[in-house]
Amino acid sequence: MREVTHLGKKRSYGYGKIINIEYPESDNDYSLIKDGLAMRYLPDDNGYREVRLRPPYWNRIDRVRCCEIGDCVIA
């Protein structure tokens, strides 16, 4: 794994240094569904948007019908 030491376009001037990264631990995984709402495009036979679920996302190959972000999803 690569460590990030600088961020931004002014890194050559000494600005944009990353000193520390802190994040709170969570027992829940909200990467797909949170409170019954889709947090990203999820496969859905009734969806009207065709989206590629793997990078590169802009590619038109392997697209599937998906629900919208924020749609109600029954898990």
Q: What is the pLDDT of residues 49-59, one digit of tens each?
A: 999 999 999 99
DSSP, collapsed to helix, strand or coil, labels residue 50 as strand
Q: Which residues pair with 17 in a beta bridge?
A: 6
- 8-17, 18-27, 46-55: the lowest-pLDDT one: 8-17
DSSP label at residue 6: B
Sequence spans of domains, the chain: 30-75
Q: Rounded to 5 degrees, what are φ and ψ at 2?
A: -85, 140
> Using DSSP, how many helices (H) and how many strands (E) does the chain show?
0, 4
Place 15 in a pLDDT band, splitting at 50, 70 and 90: low
Which residues make Cβ contacts (< 8 Å) with residue 68, sequence separation at least 6?
38, 41, 47, 49
Record the tokens describing residue 20, joined without a space: 């520390």
pLDDT (mean) for 4-18: 68
% of the chain at pLDDT higher than 70: 81
Place 40 in a pLDDT band, splitting at 50, 70 and 90: very high
